[in-house]
Structure 1
């Protein structure tokens, strides 16, 4: 009978250990479920705020498009001047590239411009004292009107 009693005591202790482990695991599962629910709620809040922000951005873009479409168009002469200007800039880029990148002197130093070449009809005479190097390229008048 003593053997049965000691065996029953062992089984009771093991049962209590199993119940304690079960209680711990249930507590861990409940805390895990709670954390999961909280994360889901946070994601839902973030999703809703992102949706509202995107809606506001789309509305702002639509308002800007409306304002831009209502804006008066540029006159053809101004558009032509802009086109000619950018064409002349694009033509001169290879010439000025080394200078703009800091690898050499400005192209005017290679041309040997003198004060005589700068004098024009009706220009003031003291213009010969102006230092010529480093001037930007002049716009070409090749562009059709």
Structure 2
């Protein structure tokens, strides 16, 4: 598995929020976002989609877990719509882990990520983990797990 530290810049996002247990409803939120992005001509080869679970399901009741399906937007034009919200993602250092987009491969990645962080002199920072879907990876069924980090 490829793992590198990358400084992600702050960016503007359009997002659809799903509240409830993580799982199939997250994929539905992402599909809603994609349909909106196609309609607004934002889903193209330079597009970056993000999945951001906002809560830790081990400490947050399932019915209160929030998942944001996002697309990075650079246009300054107003995108008023009932479907999406507009927000900002603050940048910072992230451990980027490229993995196949399957539940099994993502789970296996987490078995490696935390020990790798500790061995590299980093710990998780207090920001949400991000699933990043860049165009060239999306069509090959790969994604990147972006873990916020800071030096020990």
Same fold (TM over 0.5): no
Greater strand proportion: 2
Greater helix proportion: 1
Give the structure-1-normalised TM-score.
0.18
